[in-house]
Amino acid sequence: MTAFPEIERIPFEGPQSKNPLAFRYYDPAEKVEGKSMRDHLRFSVVYWHTFRGQGADPFGPGTAARPWDDGSNSLENAQKRVRVAFEFIDKLGAPFYAFHDRDVAPEGESLAESNKNLDDVVKVLKEEQQRTGIQLLWGTANLFSNPRYMHGAATSPNSEAFAYAAAQVKKALEVTLELGGAGYTFWGGREGYQNLWNTDMRRELDNLARFLHIAVDYAKEIGFTGQFYIEPKPKEPTKHQYDSDAAACLNFLRQYDLLDHLKLNLETNHATLAGHTMQHEMDLAGAAGALGSIDANTGDMLLGWDTDQFPTDIYLTTQCMHTLLKYGGLKTGGVNFDAKVRRESFEPIDLFYAHIGGMDAFARGLKIAAAIRADGRLEGLLKDRYASWDSSLGAEIEAGKHSFASLEKIMLERGEVTPNRSGRQEMIENLINTYM
Amino acid sequence: MTAFPEIERIPFEGPQSKNPLAFRYYDPAEKVEGKSMRDHLRFSVVYWHTFRGQGADPFGPGTAARPWDDGSNSLENAQKRVRVAFEFIDKLGAPFYAFHDRDVAPEGESLAESNKNLDDVVKVLKEEQQRTGIQLLWGTANLFSNPRYMHGAATSPNSEAFAYAAAQVKKALEVTLELGGAGYTFWGGREGYQNLWNTDMRRELDNLARFLHIAVDYAKEIGFTGQFYIEPKPKEPTKHQYDSDAAACLNFLRQYDLLDHLKLNLETNHATLAGHTMQHEMDLAGAAGALGSIDANTGDMLLGWDTDQFPTDIYLTTQCMHTLLKYGGLKTGGVNFDAKVRRESFEPIDLFYAHIGGMDAFARGLKIAAAIRADGRLEGLLKDRYASWDSSLGAEIEAGKHSFASLEKIMLERGEVTPNRSGRQEMIENLINTYM
Amino acid sequence: MTAFPEIERIPFEGPQSKNPLAFRYYDPAEKVEGKSMRDHLRFSVVYWHTFRGQGADPFGPGTAARPWDDGSNSLENAQKRVRVAFEFIDKLGAPFYAFHDRDVAPEGESLAESNKNLDDVVKVLKEEQQRTGIQLLWGTANLFSNPRYMHGAATSPNSEAFAYAAAQVKKALEVTLELGGAGYTFWGGREGYQNLWNTDMRRELDNLARFLHIAVDYAKEIGFTGQFYIEPKPKEPTKHQYDSDAAACLNFLRQYDLLDHLKLNLETNHATLAGHTMQHEMDLAGAAGALGSIDANTGDMLLGWDTDQFPTDIYLTTQCMHTLLKYGGLKTGGVNFDAKVRRESFEPIDLFYAHIGGMDAFARGLKIAAAIRADGRLEGLLKDRYASWDSSLGAEIEAGKHSFASLEKIMLERGEVTPNRSGRQEMIENLINTYM
Amino acid sequence: MTAFPEIERIPFEGPQSKNPLAFRYYDPAEKVEGKSMRDHLRFSVVYWHTFRGQGADPFGPGTAARPWDDGSNSLENAQKRVRVAFEFIDKLGAPFYAFHDRDVAPEGESLAESNKNLDDVVKVLKEEQQRTGIQLLWGTANLFSNPRYMHGAATSPNSEAFAYAAAQVKKALEVTLELGGAGYTFWGGREGYQNLWNTDMRRELDNLARFLHIAVDYAKEIGFTGQFYIEPKPKEPTKHQYDSDAAACLNFLRQYDLLDHLKLNLETNHATLAGHTMQHEMDLAGAAGALGSIDANTGDMLLGWDTDQFPTDIYLTTQCMHTLLKYGGLKTGGVNFDAKVRRESFEPIDLFYAHIGGMDAFARGLKIAAAIRADGRLEGLLKDRYASWDSSLGAEIEAGKHSFASLEKIMLERGEVTPNRSGRQEMIENLINTYM
Ligand SMILES: [Co+2]
Ligand SMILES: [Co+2]
Ligand SMILES: [Co+2]
Ligand SMILES: [Co+2]
Ligand SMILES: [Co+2]
Ligand SMILES: [Co+2]
Ligand SMILES: [Co+2]
Ligand SMILES: [Co+2]
């Protein structure tokens, strides 16, 4: 049985190819800075959008044609879907995938039944992982869809919602361990508020931190050594999510002594909804040693919600890959396509087009970023720009040798600063264009 | 000599007054929750907008009619302006003011001359403080206007800009101490970037932290015991300021071990430019014990720049005052009108209208907030909402008695959570309206 | 049978009431400017949010507890729901309601069956209208939910989608006529695009205009003399809707010679998503003689999607009512609550709280607006402000007596303009506050 | 005398060039679709940003180093600046320029003196035009900087501001005619409002239309046959400008019977501030036959003010040029760089970098757009997509042969629409990438 009989393994055909079902840039074996593109990019397909997304939006139901899916909530349908998913990921050639517990297995009448369903599907996931070699990038638990989580999970005013979420994450961690997952992600879908008048923010934050500490403890207990991630998003579905951006997450992790245990999983569309570029968020996380993984997508800059579009802008992918290379590249993380086809792109083949486009855009961004680094002109400009910090006064200041008094003395003598130099933004933007 | 001959001390006349030059709500001596309105609100007038703002915008020069100002950069003009400022603040009845070094005294040809100019004006400020009893809420240094700071001050690629800024803050601290200032504020106008391609974010953040540590050291050295503040703003003039919001500031302060030394000075318009309500920023700071002072203004929610309008919305002022009361009220900080009259409101009398409106709106917000608290219905709703955390399971979790295993056990038994209760947002919004 | 046994007809109890299930301002019989509040406000309840909304969002299914609804798509359930709706509207005391065809009756297997279902429900609507005296403010057809409309209805690249939409609107017009509806509204949910590369904008606009002309023709044919409305919204669900704001709608209506046939139905949240205040949209429509009806709700200014919240801000409702009074008040239109309770406000009683709050906020806004007009200070300021246009040079210009040559001659003589006067924005904002 | 001794005429060196002072794509003589790039692109340099901009922002004064400019307001300085401007434009190789009256000549003590100053500078402009062959793309008058226009010009409550503006535009039109300008542009800087409470929108709009009619009359009188343009911008400096976007301008022009006389001058940054892409605005204007000229720049999508950056994004320039080609290319209009170097790019050489980058980005966009058209795949997809409108039912509808009754009859028979086809957004985005 095959769900995509007309599709073979997507080949690499090079930049001249006009085949929309081939890669023009992503050649997994090709070496860039001494490492294969496969290992640089660690592409990952997400189960939720790609295998569960139907294209529903607030103004209409799903449109997706998924002939392999009978639309039921049965275990059989769930298991069959796993086979299709792995056929897809395998033909695409992505080495990783990611999922929430409730994406892969139906929620049962009770927690016990839900756990059993999950176990039954995990068996198939494991089989398919072994058959194809595809690996689990990270697991996670859906703590936002079920109405029990309407007011949040770890931050709910209902303490049993906290307890239920704990049980659910426990199971998800076990399953992630079972499947050899390289990480585990917390995205706090409804961990925030709709209205401050009815919210005790301090208590909710305390509970959120408590929850994460218990999770860290449990991972240790069961020997899960994968990387924990926290994924920022400023809003939607809540009016305000506590983990609103990289800085808010880092502040929270520092405040509650969790920074040793979690890194950031950054998403482009969440960055821009928070008023930052993805490059900013990645640079900030990298500078803090907390750049873990990326959810590779893009938003529409004129829309105010999370459109989770596939990334095709090569300026964006170049910025992402340049920043990753700067901070040493991906370790446990990946380039995870937390992205969905448009509601109007409802045919199965659109799933291939979408992922191929995203992968090629990132492969191209990687090559451009490496070319920029190899060429050295940009890095040279940067080195020059900060040169005053590399010797004499600048170096002394950085070495901690100065106080306000000593600096005042120097500047009273000099009277004015050495003239500034142009920031050269336009020239640098042109320079970047020469690599495109 | 008087600059405002037609204006007497602004009287309190009560809500029925139709006099636009009287207070309808702000009665400084009136007690609210056992404290005078004067002590609750600690109103402060800013020197920059009110005495130096001319109404220039990127599309045209200033319009302001300020008959007392000869438009020159002379010391005499600067000193005369101080007398006018104190006449204004005194007639208005605000107990505090705030200034940047370069607001009050002209920048000279050299640092030494600038310092001398500052000293000469500070003498007059001191005289006027003594004459009127008006106090300095906080001092600060302008580290963003002069072209030497075009690339930042503490974060400049030019190490001498750092040194010059150090000298300038040293002097500003001394002057603040001399004038008995209750605090000192850092707002990092150009401490950020215009473009990430030409920026070394990590190095710049390190330097910013270094600068603040040196400042803290110097304060200790000279015996300045006022409160340090850092003021978040996400952007403008830079594309991205490092201190973008409360969370970003707190993260930075924690990362660099500065949290004991600085509190936040939060501004409404900066909050909304960063995508947060002022209520959010104040609550977040309050929960972290870092709510220091507020720059009371408002933005236009449909405009993307800092309009610094005078606050007149009583929903906003109620939220501010309710949050302040929740966290124990202002200590060293104040309600500082970092606000400017519109370019079209160019007459001196508009300065009175603007401040009276802002003060009355805050006084009214204080009374509404106190009424909400006295009434107790809102607090009661909140207490009920979190009741499940106050006993049994919730209390045990908060007491640290649970693990994932123990929680799973409980929830496997219970199967599902106790039903949630409505968040009652609409009812609460109606309830708030009953106090308006 | 009653769905709300614990609720009586919502009484008016006056501003001092602490009863959350009473009106504090809305007294239908009270006269304002010589007309009853009932006739000024013409409140209307929407069927879609209030009786079909379940609280689903992109991150989770519905939460609403609606004990009277069996959740099925049966005709019986639909008919029973009508009884509940009228009980609700009647107890609330709103004189109008509005609905889409697919809100009230289930879509069948074929167009014929859908039409039959609609007829079967319309019978019950008619009975209930007669029983209660509640009237239909406007009808409309849902041309955006069914996947057949994924690419638009009148603007679909699929010409049969146009034809199907035509058939659906034909029926909806007939039904609106049958129920004595005072109007009919077009909201072009997916009449726009997701991407310009695959879109022929000019052809789509031509088809949209063609569709409206055919509708106007058909209304004439069947004797429907109600008012047609077009409702602007800039985006969502599409990336860009053609009817993006009041100006875009007016431009379209003028271009295609439809301005005599349609007025605008303006919605607050759509105004702000388009970057305008509701006051702006209403003033612009009023100035063009096209202010038809309003969808009374509010958005969250920090969120980028249509939250359709109930309006409670009295500044907003004052602005709306002041503008309506300025342009002569509502004629065929109403204050239609196109608003929904939050997903967390899932209990039936929240529907009452929400509508009561909205109605009271508008009643209060009406009274404040009337007080502003009665007092005359604001209008006096405005009259003064434009006085230079009421005589001599200004009056001559407005009378068409001047050319560039004659004006140049005058200004060469005068050399400079008579000094401007302050715009007094702050004083006016304070003045508005005196009525709050 | 030369202001740029180190710069020769900027050469075309081809894509491989690493010379930052050479064109890599813009080869003026190269033919694209049978027309030279020079004639396709009609590049224009703006006098205001490039020769008058100093880099001031609301937080600091100018930084620009312009050694040829003595900083004075003298006529000599103004005339000398013209020589420098033409040296720059000539070395750059742009065939056009544009200016406001007050950019080129100092405002005098009286209108008469201002006019005389303008005449004295226009003589030099004319000499330099003849010397270099550079032409005037369009002229305009600055009706927003001088405080007399604080409340607007044609829409001022001060009727003498209207009269003064009339005199100023009269002169600007005469000068534009004298210099052989191909057009004249109206940008209504302060033609809007800061606050609706103090504004009579209808009267102001009437006056704005009156002003434009008088201008059209005067142009006819003096024989100016150039194209009039109106330039939309939603806000800044005002809270809301009347000409907020393309649709608002078209609506206004239609309402006041001005559509035959003015086309649109569209600016990218204004489009995005209004919530539209530039591609949208151009397509909408093109579809209305009103696409006149473009102000080629870009904004920062995360900033809420008009940054007027030089355009370097090749996706943007491709969209612009593709839309222009679709509507027949530029006629009287041009690709006018209404763009400014960053405050930190303060050296003269940055002016060259900036313009070279913008010109190259547009030349590249032109070549990509032409390649897309030559290839035909995109157009083929579009033709297929709308095929149902080209025959049978669709063609009949477009031919006006159908009514609601006839369409209902057809759809009752067919029961449901022919299945939709995928919108293929992702595939098309990938396709566009193959041309980059
Ligand atoms: Co994500
Ligand atoms: Co997302
Ligand atoms: Co401030
Ligand atoms: Co501010
Ligand atoms: Co609506
Ligand atoms: Co809406
Ligand atoms: Co422009
Ligand atoms: Co602009």
DSSP, residue by residue, B280-348: HHHHHHHHTT-EEEEE--B--TT-BS---BPP--HHHHHHHHHHHHHTT--SS--EEE-----TT--SH
**Is B344 inside a domain boundary?**
yes
HSE toward the beta carbon, residue D339, CA cutoff 13 A: 33
Q: Give the range of the structural domain holding residue A145, as residue numbers without chain letter.
A: 31-375
Distance from C-alpha of C284 to C-alpha of A298, rounded to nearest angstrom: 36
The answer as to whether D215 is a domain residue is yes
Q: How many CA atoms lie within 13 A of B76 on its CB side?
A: 3
Give the DSSP letter string of C37-91: HHHHH-EEEEHIIIII----BTTB------TT--S---HHHHHHHHHHHHHHHHH
Q: In this structure, how many other beta carbons lie within 10 angstroms of the beta carbon of residue C18?
A: 11
A336, β-bridge pairs: A44, A295
Question: In Å, what is the CA distance from D387 to each residue of A347, D394, D432?
Answer: 19, 9, 22
Q: Which residue has the tokens 């938003």?
A: A299
Q: How far is D150 from chain B (nearest CA, A)?
A: 6
Distance D268 CA to ligand 7 centre (A): 8
Looking at the fold, whether B396 and B369 belong to one and the same domain comes out as no
Closest ligand by atom to A232 CA: 1
In whole angstroms, what is the distance from residue A361 CA to residue A381 CA? 26
Per cent of chain A over pLDDT 70 is: 100
A1 pLDDT band, cuts 50/70/90, is confident
In order, the DSSP letters of A68-123 are T--S---HHHHHHHHHHHHHHHHHHT-SEEEEEHHHHS---SSHHHHHHHHHHHHH
What's the rounded mean pLDDT across residues A111-127?
Answer: 98
| Minimum distance, in Å, between the CA of residue B93 and any CA atom of chain A | 32
**C-alpha to C-alpha distance for C199 and C190, rounded to whole angstroms:** 13
Per-residue pLDDT band for D1 (boundaries 50, 70, 90) equals: confident
Tell which of D330, D350, D375 closes a domain.
Answer: D375
Chain D residues near residue B149 by CB distance under 8 angstroms: 60
Mutation pick from B156, B298, B303 vs chain D, by most beta carbons of D within 10 Å, is: B303
pLDDT per position as a tens digit, C195-222: 999 999 999 999 999 999 999 999 999 9
User: What is the arithmetic mean of pLDDT over A414-428?
Assistant: 97
CB contact under 8 A, C425 and B272: no
- Cα-to-centroid distance, D254 and ligand 7 (Å): 22
Q: D307-364: per-residue pLDDT in tens?
A: 999 999 999 999 999 999 999 999 999 999 999 999 999 999 999 999 999 999 999 9
Burial of D129 (0-12, 13-18, 19+ CB in 10 A): middle
- Burial group, residue C291, by CB count within 10 angstroms (0-12, 13-18, 19+): buried
D228: confidence class by pLDDT, cuts 50, 70, 90: very high
* Residue C360 sits in the same domain as residue C400: no
Lookup: tokens for C357: 């709050």
Q: Looking at the structure, do residues C122 and C224 belong to the same domain, yes or no?
A: yes
Shortest alpha-carbon distance between residue A311 and chain B (Å) = 20
Average pLDDT value for residue range D36-40: 98
Query: What number is the average pLDDT over the span D416-434?
Result: 98
User: Over the range D136-152, which residues count as b (16 or more CB within 10 Å of their CB) and which as e?
Assistant: bbbbbbbbbbbbbbbbb
Please tell me whether residues B140 and B262 are part of one structural domain. Answer: yes
User: Measuring CA to CA, which residue among D188, D236, D227, D226 is closest to residue D209?
Assistant: D188
Name the residue in chain A with its Cα closest to that of C305: A304
Please compute Rg for chain B using Cα positions. Answer: 24
Residues B363, B393: one domain? no
Q: Does residue C269 have a pLDDT over 80?
A: yes
Q: Are residues D236 and D199 in the same domain?
A: yes
Neighboring chain C residues of B436 at a CB cutoff of 8 Å = 314, 436
- D70 an active-site residue? no
Q: Which one, of C88, C95, C90, C69, lies nearest residue C80 by Cα? A: C69
The answer to whether the beta carbons of residues B202 and B241 sit under 8 Å apart is no
Distance from C-alpha of B167 to C-alpha of C301, rounded to nearest angstrom = 42
Q: How many CB atoms lie within 10 A of CB B16?
A: 7
Residue C174 token pair = 């007939």
Give a yes or no: residue D222 inside a domain. yes
Q: Are B91 and B9 in contact (CB under 8 A)?
A: yes
Measured in Å, residue D33 CA sits from the centre of ligand 7 at 28
| A222-272: pLDDT as tens digits | 999 999 999 999 999 999 999 999 999 999 999 999 999 999 999 999 999
Residues A338 and A430 in one domain: no
Burial of C5 (0-12, 13-18, 19+ CB in 10 A): exposed
Q: What is the mean pLDDT of residues B395-417?
A: 97
Q: How far is it, in rounded angstroms, from Cα A23 to Cα A363?
A: 9
CA distance B421 to B384: 10
pLDDT at residue C190 above 90? yes
pLDDT in tens, B367-399: 999 999 999 999 999 999 999 999 999 999 999
Determine if residue C261 is labeled as part of a ligand binding site.
Answer: no
Top residue of A199, A303, A338, A350 to mutate, by most chain C CBs within 10 Å, is A303
The Cα–Cα gap between B182 and B96 comes to 10
How far apart are the C-alpha atoms of D297 and D275, rounded to whole Å? 16
Radius of gyration of chain A (CA): 24
**Has residue C145 got a pLDDT over 90?**
yes
Residues A402 and A263 in one domain: no
D158–C388 CB contact, under 8 Å: yes
And the tokens for B43? 């109103």
Per-residue pLDDT averaged across C216-229, rounded? 98
A20 occurs within a structural domain: no
CB contact under 8 A, C60 and A144: yes
What letter represents residue D303's amino acid? L
CA of B267 to the centre of ligand 3 (A): 5
Residue that is last in its domain, among D340, D375, D410: D375
If pLDDT is split at 50, 70 and 90, which confidence band does D8 have?
Answer: very high
Residue D424 scores a pLDDT above 80:
yes
Contact C111 D248 (CB under 8 A): no
Q: How far apart are CA A89 and CA A344, in angstroms?
A: 22
Q: Which of chain B's residues have a Cβ under 8 Å away from the Cβ of C19? A: none
- Percent of chain C residues past pLDDT 90, beyond the cut: 100
Q: What pLDDT, on the 0 to 100 scale, is given for residue A201? A: 98
The answer to whether position C11 is within a domain reads no
**How many domains does chain C divide into?**
2
Chain D from 167 to 186: CB within 8 A of any C CB: 167, 169-171, 173
- C-alpha A338 to ligand 1 mean position (Å): 5
In order of C176, C252, D125, the CA distances from D90 in angstroms are: 68, 43, 13
C14 occurs within a structural domain: no
Instruction: From chain B, pick out residues whose CB is under 8 angstroms from the CB of A169.
Output: 404
Chains that touch B (3 or more CB pairs under 8 A): A, C, D
Q: D206: part of which helix (H) or strand (E)?
A: helix D201-222
Asked if residue C196 belongs to a domain, the reply is yes
Shortest CA distance from A198: residue in chain C: C344
Nearest to A249 by CA among A203, A292, A302, A307: A292
Spatial distance between the Cα atoms of B404 and A218, rounded to a whole number of angstroms: 7
Q: Where do runs of H (alpha helix) occur along A225-376?
A: 246-255, 268-273, 278-287, 314-326, 348-375
Whether residue C157 lies within 8 A of chain D, CB to CB, comes out as: yes
In a shared domain, residues D281 and D333: yes
Which residues fall within 8 angstroms of residue A262, CB to CB, at 6 or more apart? A186, A212, A228, A229, A230, A253, A290, A292
Is D150's Cβ below 8 Å from some Cβ in B? yes
Relative to beta strand C192-193, strand C240-241 is: antiparallel
Average pLDDT over residues D182-194: 97
Residue A274 shares a structural domain with residue A408: no
pLDDT bin (cut points 50, 70, 90) of residue B37 is very high
Per the document, the length of chain B is 436
Query: Chain B closest CA to C318's CA: distance in Å?
Result: 13
Within 31-90 of C, beta carbons closer than 8 Å to A belong to: 56-63
What residues contact C109, with CB distance under 8 A and at least 6 apart? none
B17 within some domain: no
CB A136 within 8 Å of CB A182 = yes
The answer to whether the Cβ–Cβ distance between D58 and B150 falls below 8 Å is: no
> Comparing C-alpha atoms, which of B266, B227, B236 is closest to residue B250?
B266
User: Of C38, B145, B403, C204, nearest to D60 (Cα)?
Assistant: B145
The domain boundary, picked from A326, A353, A375, lies at: A375
* pLDDT confidence of residue B1: 73
Going from the Cα of B50 to the center of ligand 4, the distance in angstroms, rounded, reads 13
* Percentage of residues in chain A having pLDDT higher than 90: 100
Residue A218 has pLDDT above 80, yes or no: yes
Q: What are phi and psi of C313, to 5 degrees?
A: -80, 120
pLDDT tens digits, one per residue of B47-66: 999 999 999 999 999 999 99
Separation between Cα atoms, residue A300 and residue A309, nearest integer Å: 8
Which residue, among D24, D318, D426, D427, would best test binding to A if mutated, counting the most A CBs under 10 Å from its CB? D426
Distance C270 CA to ligand 1 centre (A): 28
Is residue C130 scored above 90 in pLDDT?
yes
- Same domain flag for D208 and D263: yes
CB-based contact A151:C344 (threshold 8 Å): yes
For the segment A348-365, the average pLDDT, to the nearest whole number, is: 98
Whole-number Cα distances in Å, D137 to A142, B169, D172, D331, D352: 59, 50, 14, 11, 20
CA distance linking residue C83 with residue B89, whole number of Å: 64
Min CA distance, D59 vs chain B (Å)? 6
Amino acid symbol at C239: K
Mean pLDDT of all residues in A39-57: 98
Return d(Cα B411, Cα B133) in angstroms, integer.
Answer: 64
Mutate to test the interface with D, among C158, C258, C368 (most CBs of D within 10 A): C158
Contacts with D150 (C-beta within 8 Å, 6 or more apart), sequence order: B60, B63, B343, B344, B346, C420, C423, D190
On average, the pLDDT of chain A sits at 98
Instruction: Give the Å distances, CA to CA, from A180 to A133, A168, B215, B252, D131.
Output: 12, 18, 50, 35, 75
CA A66 to chain centre: 26
Say yes or no for a CB contact (<8 Å) between A150 and C60: yes
Please tell me whether residues D275 and D400 are part of one structural domain.
no
pLDDT tens, residue by residue, A129-162 = 999 999 999 999 999 999 999 999 999 999 999 9
Phi, psi of C130 (to 5 degrees): -65, -40
Which residue of chain B comes nearest to C303, CA vs CA?
Answer: B275
- Residue D427 forms contact with A (CB below 8 Å): yes
**C301 CA distance to ligand 6 middle (Å):** 13
d(CA C107, CA C142): 11
Please count the other Cβ atoms lying within 10 Å of the Cβ belonging to residue A150: 26
Q: Flag if A424 and D18 touch (Cβ within 8 Å).
A: no
Any bridge partners for residue A295, and if so which?
Answer: A267, A336
Q: Which residue of A has its CA nearest to B421?
A: A158
- Predicted confidence band of residue C1 (pLDDT cuts 50, 70, 90): confident
Nearest-Cα distance to chain C for A189, in Å, is 8
> Closest residue of A to C342, CA-based?
A194
Q: What is the CATH number of the domain that holds C141?
A: 3.20.20.150
What values do phi and psi take at B377, rounded to 5?
A: -65, -45
Residue B227 has pLDDT above 90, yes or no: yes
Question: Considering only CB atoms, which chain A residues are within 8 Å of B394?
Answer: 159, 162
The confidence score (pLDDT) of residue C387 equals 98
